[in-house]
Amino acid sequence: MLEVRGLNKVYEGHQRRVEAVRDLTFTIDAGDLVCLVGPSGCGKTTLLKCIAGLLAPTAGEVLLDGRPVTGPPRGMAVVFQEYGRSLFPWMSVRDNVALPLKQKRVAKARRRELVDEALAAVGLAGTESAYPWQLSGGMQQRVAIARAVAYEPEVLLMDEPFAAVDAQTRADLEDLVRALWKRLGVTILFVTHDIDEAVYLGQQVIMLSASPTVVQERLAIDLPAERDQLHTRADARFTHLRTHVYEQIQAAKRGTRTDAAVASVAE
Amino acid sequence: MAATALKRIGLVLGLPVILFAVWYVATDNSQSFYVPPLRTILSVFDDTWTGQRLRADVLPSALRLLAGYALATVLGVGLGVVIGSYRRVRAVAEPVLEFFRAIPPPVLVPVIMLFAGIGDGMKVIVIVSGCVWPILLNTVEGVRAVDGVLADTARSYRITGPARLRHLLLRSASPQIMAGMRQALSIAIILMVISEMFAASNGLGFTIVQFQRSFAIPEMWTGIILLGLLGFVLSALFRFAENRVLAWYHGLRSAQRKS
Ligand SMILES: Nc1ncnc2c1ncn2[C@@H]1O[C@H](COP(=O)(O)OP(=O)(O)OP(=O)(O)O)[C@@H](O)[C@H]1O
Ligand SMILES: [Mg+2]
């Protein structure tokens, strides 16, 4: 179980002081698939980095299975928003996916199996020996996803992982994430700015307000567990939920106009 | 394929061949004692650099050069990784480094002779003392410039310790490290010769000075030509190694330029 309690993060710069996250509290049950939506710049990446143990919060804490997160926890994988910069350019696609497994001391034969499976799952079979910079942006993004999938994490954090892929691939990858989630029972926190995607994927959708960032609303998505691109998206309930999320996001944006946009104060 | 290879060889050798031809023609009738005709120089080349002399003078020089260069690389990369990784260490070390780097290495030869004597050890130390700085400073820059997202990626997959050094730091800094090593290579050759000119009983630098002192001018010139050839071969070998080690980097750069 993942718990975020009173999380606050302020970036202290030379001239600027940016409050990226004001006060966030929520919990995610083990095995849940939660989507996080919020306006650009509201601190989604910051929140993810705090959960991943890559960034120390200014106040509040993150608990994983009851223990405070102080560094990158075991069994967690992160797909970064800047996918292009998160691949090792001196390694082939295969080595990029295999390195974390090697570090985890997965036996060689099993490692090969996991890498092949993961690359096939994201539609990249046959590119094993290419270097990341020989691939298109969307393909690079899928390598990063394959790396996280092959890792078999207990908790998977994904930061707008489908931003660079075309609509068709995106739909396939959405179904892949749901299939993996069901098969492996992994806990997923999925950041997106696409409202339809959030509703289609999630069991829960957490909406963040614009800065100063708090949880605007948490919504349970009561769609059937079996979802498919054609029918789920045409479902009246789906339309209703997405309209609701859309309205909330709009309200969140409006709410901030009175509340001096970015909390940047000259020192 | 073969045509382009020929063209490349032509480009590499073209200018040296022209220069040699100019040298040959210009000195053909030279009466100057100090600038003998190139024809004369080349005619004594074979007799001067016999197998015996190669073994007795060129080989020791080459070994000193390699030992000094290798030691400087290990030292420079090792210290550079440490200094580049810790901001505190960097704050303390950087002014000192800049100071030492500013000292022209040949000046150190007499000083090093005082405590290291005049043996092979002294020559290796001289080479190290000059070569280590470009490698060290470039490594520091390279390690500092590791991409933040890549470092976060490594950290979140718990790639730490030796694996982080091997797969992240050294690889990411390798373009800068190689640039430092390329500068260091020419410094190493210069210092090898200079240290042998100061105090030695064998070596290329020693032999060239001996020829000069005994007024064997054509032989002295053959030594200089041999030194040039040595530098050329070493830099060709270096480029070969660099192209292999940095193949990913050149590919990445040209991919970025195209987009
Ligand atoms: N390293 C940093 N130093 C200073 N300010 C930062 C830093 N990283 C982020 N910020 C600021 O914190 C705020 C939140 O940034 P963050 O990247 O978390 O937003 P986001 O919700 O992920 O945005 P997007 O949807 O565009 O990715 C922004 O105002 C940003 O300028
Ligand atoms: Mg972001």
Structural domain contains residue B29: no
Rounded average pLDDT over A233-260: 79
- Kindly state the tokens that stand for A131: 């270097």
Q: How far is the CA of A81 from the centre of ligand 2 (A)?
A: 6
- Per-residue pLDDT tens digits for B17-36: 899 889 888 888 888 888 88
- Compute the distance between CA of residue B5 and CA of residue B7 in angstroms, rounded to an integer: 5
Question: Which one of the ligands is nearest to A44 CA?
Answer: 1
Phi, psi dihedral angles at A124 (to 5 degrees): -120, 15
- Kindly state the tokens that stand for A25: 């509290």
Structural domain contains residue B184: yes
Instruction: Give yes or no for residue A259 having a pLDDT over 70.
Output: no
Residue of A nearest to B156 (CA): A72
Residue keyed to tokens 């069901």 = A182
Bridge-based pairing of strands A215-220 and A59-64 is unpaired
Q: Give, in order, the Cα–Cα distances in Å from B134 to each of B2, B128, B130.
A: 37, 11, 8
Contacts of B112 (CB under 8 A, 6+ apart): B122, B125, B126, B129
3-state SS, residue A85? helix
- Per-residue pLDDT tens digits for B81-114: 999 999 999 999 988 888 888 888 888 888 888 8
3-state SS, residue A5? strand
Rounded average pLDDT over B121-143: 94
Residue nearest to atom 13 of ligand 1 (CA): A20
Question: Which one of the ligands is nearest to A37 CA?
Answer: 1
Structural domain contains residue B9: no
- Domain containing B71 — which CATH number? 1.10.3720.10
3-state SS, residue B203? coil
Report residue B229 CA to chain centroid gap. Answer: 13
- Band (A165; pLDDT cuts 50, 70, 90): confident
Share of chain A above pLDDT 90, in %: 73
Query: B interface mutation test: which of A80, A90, A131 has the most B CBs within 10 A?
Result: A90
Report residue A263 CA to chain centroid gap. Answer: 25
Contacts of B199 (CB under 8 A, 6+ apart): B113, B118, B122
Residue keyed to tokens 């997965």 = A106
Share of chain B above pLDDT 90, in %: 58
Instruction: Give yes or no for residue A263 having a pLDDT over 60.
Output: no
CA B36-B39-B45 angle, 5° bins: 90
- Compute the distance between CA of residue B241 and CA of residue A266 in angstroms, rounded to an integer: 51
- Compute the distance between CA of residue B145 and CA of residue B50 in angstroms, rounded to an integer: 49
Residue of B nearest to A82 (CA): B149
- Residues of A within 8 A of B255 (CB-CB) are 133-134
CA atoms within 13 A on the CB side of A205: 28
Residue B88: which domain range? 37-258
ipTM computed for the complex = 0.89
- Per-residue pLDDT tens digits for B231-246: 999 999 999 999 999 9
- Compute the distance between CA of residue A142 and CA of residue A161 in angstroms, rounded to an integer: 8
Structural domain contains residue B108: yes
> Comparing B1 with B125, which gets the higher pLDDT?
B125
- Are B195 and B126 contacting, i.e. CB atoms less than 8 angstroms apart? yes
Rounded average pLDDT over A90-106: 96
- Residues of A within 8 A of B251 (CB-CB) are 131, 133-134
Structural domain contains residue B206: yes
3-state secondary structure B31-47: CCCCCCCHHHHHHHHHH
CA atoms within 13 A on the CB side of A49: 23
CA B255-B258-B259 angle, 5° bins: 90
Structural domain contains residue B16: no
The domain tally of chain B equals: 1
Ligand 1, CB cutoff 6 Å, lining residues: A 11, 13, 18, 20, 38, 40-46, 81, 193, 262
Structural domain contains residue B42: yes
Instruction: Give yes or no for residue A257 having a pLDDT over 80.
Output: no
Question: Which one of the ligands is nearest to A39 CA?
Answer: 1
Catalogue all structural domains in chain A, each as residue range(s) with its CATH number: 2-75+156-165+183-265 (3.40.50.300), 81-152 (no CATH)
Q: What pLDDT is attached to residue B47?
A: 86
Q: What pLDDT is attached to residue B30?
A: 84
List, as ranges, residues 170-229 from B with C-beta within 8 Å of A: 171-172, 174
- Per-residue pLDDT tens digits for B173-232: 999 999 999 999 999 999 999 999 887 888 899 999 999 999 989 999 999 999 999 999
Instruction: Give yes or no for residue A173 having a pLDDT over 50.
Output: yes
- Residues of B within 8 A of A82 (CB-CB) are 149
* A130 in contact with chain B, both atoms CB, cutoff 8 A: no
Residue keyed to tokens 């500092």 = B144
pTM (predicted TM-score): 0.89
Q: What pLDDT is attached to residue A258?
A: 36
Instruction: Give yes or no for residue A219 having a pLDDT over 50.
Output: yes
Distance from CA of A178 to the nearest CA of B (A): 23
Q: What pLDDT is attached to residue B34?
A: 85
Residue nearest to atom 11 of ligand 1 (CA): A20
- Kindly state the tokens that stand for B195: 């240290």
Give the ligand 1 atom nearest the CA of A208.
21
* B249 in contact with chain A, both atoms CB, cutoff 8 A: yes
Rounded average pLDDT over A157-177: 90
Structural domain contains residue B145: yes
Query: A interface mutation test: which of B156, B172, B258 has the most A CBs within 10 A?
Result: B156
Q: What integer best gives the mean pLDDT of chain A? A: 90
Contacts of A246 (CB under 8 A, 6+ apart): A195
Q: What pLDDT is attached to residue B17?
A: 87
- The 8-class DSSP code of residue B206 comes to H
Pocket test for ligand 1, best of A42, A55, A78, A79 (most atoms within 8 A of CB): A42
CA A100, A101, A103, A108 torsion: positive or negative? Answer: negative
Do the chains contact at B156 and A52, CB–CB below 8 Å?
Answer: yes
